[in-house]
Amino acid sequence: MTAPRQPLTSLSPDELAAVRAEQQTAYDALVAAGLKLDLTRGKPSSEQLDLSDGLLALPTTAYAPDGTDTRNYGGLLGLTELRAVFAELLGLDLNQVSAQGSSSLTLMKEVLSFLWLKGGVDSERPWGAEEKVTFICPVPGYDRHFALLEWFGIDMVTVPMHDDGPDVDAVAALVKDDASIKGMWLVPTYANPTGQVTSLEVAERLSSMPTAAPDFKIFWDNAYALHHLTAEETKSADIVSLAAVAGHPHRPVVFASTSKITYAGAGVAFVGGSAETVAWYTQNLGFGSIGPDKVNQLRHLEFFKDAAGVRAHMAKHRAILAPKFAEVVRILEERLGGLEVATWNNPAGGYFINLDVLPGTASRVIELAKAAGVALTPAGSSFPRKHDPDDTNIRLAPSFPALPELTAAMEAVATCVLLAAAETLGA
């Protein structure tokens, strides 16, 4: 079935009724097919996880290159040699990064907890002692960021994401006079879910803008810094150096992990920033830890060897992921192109494709897909408290299904988008 190229909004009532009937027939066939497909979360596929199975035979020794016995207590900062590898990849100095457990989200919660209970390097008092704490949240954004803030009881104010990053004029205006605004989230490279890359110019303004709160933080979640979908590797802005030059060295806190590089549940996560920020984190961490899993860190060091080894490994991921992303875009263009009922991005990296459907229909699309056996991320997930004011945004996660399953799922999604649009326009 070939979708009409004429925009649905320009069709006559009779023509629109015909489109609706056609899509209803296609949708009924989907329901009858008994699909069981899942596009809800950006998980690595089994094929991607297999790329790291060499880890299972490592490490070959208990001793790190500097002589550290990884089986014993100590080493709160993590293995020096592994920190050096990822410091290079993340554009940090060695004393600006710490290697910890498998989850960067856990590190984000720890940093927030330390700020809440003790305050930061540049804080006048603990954040928990403030009358009100607010975070800026670029939208669409990462649902787990928002959930973490909600769990803390931190207020959220949104700003839109543009092609060059968050609306920096809106951010600057918000932070200038409101001391309750203590921080903001940002996925700077291949943002979740929109795929944008924060430009150097935007990063410079975020680093240098005046803020009413002296201890304002940028939670720089560089989760996808190495997840390129093309041979051209986008370089993240050096937020730590920019902030230091601007006179706000402690403003950024950097997060990253190998969760989608090696094993999602058994990788290594990193927290970085100024040397003082890393020392502050380590000091607070020491009250609840005597050191991370250094055996696992040594395993990763032996597996990668150096930064070039990480980049070579990521090229193998790209070979698996790029065809999946291309297939999603192909189907969207073939089925929905020219109809003016949806827009989408074609990201150069990351784990998601952002689909915006006709305002007021995202919930209906997801409802239709669920009834047809295709699980999508719940409507509103890319917004704080799951409230998308326009009910338009859908996050697509192409990584986990096999290519034939992905094709079937996206054909179903396109049908649901068309049916929901025809229902709304014909009402």
**What's the rounded Cα separation, in Å, for the pair 60 and 364?**
54
Tokens, residue 397? 């996660």
Q: What's the CA gap between 313 and 310, in Å, rounded?
A: 5
| Identity of the amino acid at 355 | L
Per cent of the chain over pLDDT 90 is 98
End-to-end, the C-alpha distance of the chain in Å comes to 24
Mean pLDDT calculated for residue range 139-162: 98
| pLDDT at residue 64 greater than cutoff 50 | yes
Tens-place pLDDT, residues 353-401: 999 999 999 999 999 999 999 999 999 999 999 999 999 999 999 999 9
* Average pLDDT of the segment spanning 214-232: 97
**For residue 423, what are the CA distances in angstroms to 17, 24, 389, 394?**
9, 10, 20, 18
The pLDDT, as a whole number, for residue 5 is 78
Cα→Cα distances 157→140, 170, 412, 415, Å:
12, 11, 34, 34
Domains and CATH numbers, the chain: 8-48+311-425 (3.90.1150.10), 68-305 (3.40.640.10)
Give the 3-state secondary structure of residue 357: strand
Average pLDDT over residues 325-330: 98
pTM of model > 0.75: yes
Q: How confident is the model at residue 346 (pLDDT cuts 50, 70, 90)?
A: very high
The per-residue pLDDT for range 394-415, each reduced to its tens digit, is: 999 999 999 999 999 999 999 9
What is the residue whose two structure tokens read 């305002």?
Answer: 359
Bridge partners, residue 343, by sequence: 356
Q: What is the pLDDT of residues 271-300, one digit of tens each?
A: 999 999 999 999 999 999 999 999 999 999
Q: What is the mean pLDDT of residues 416-420?
A: 98
Mean pLDDT across 24-44 = 94
| Element at 31 (helix H, strand E) | helix 13-33
Q: Is the pLDDT of residue 176 over 90?
A: yes
Alpha carbon distances (Å) from 412 to 90, 362, 391, 395, 415: 39, 14, 20, 15, 5
pLDDT band at 427 (very low <50, low <70, confident <90, very high): confident
CA distance linking residue 347 with residue 75, whole number of Å: 38
pLDDT band at 41 (very low <50, low <70, confident <90, very high): confident
What is the structure's pLDDT at 202? 98
2 pLDDT more than 60: no
Q: How far apart are CA 75 and CA 68, in angstroms?
A: 9
* pLDDT above 80: residue 253: yes
Whether the pLDDT of residue 139 is over 90: the answer is: yes
**What is the chain's mean pLDDT, rounded?**
97
User: Nearest Cα to 418, choosing from 6, 24, 34?
Assistant: 24
Q: Is the CB of residue 90 less than 8 Å from the CB of residue 270?
A: yes
Section 305-327 average pLDDT: 98
Mean pLDDT of 24-48: 95
Predicted local distance difference test score (pLDDT) of residue 3: 47
Alpha helix positions (H), 119-226: 143-152, 168-177, 200-208
Residue 211 predicted with pLDDT over 90: yes
Section 254-281 average pLDDT: 97
- Tell me: the pLDDT tens digits for 83-124? 999 999 999 999 999 999 999 999 999 999 999 999 999 999
User: Does residue 1 have a pLDDT over 70?
Assistant: no
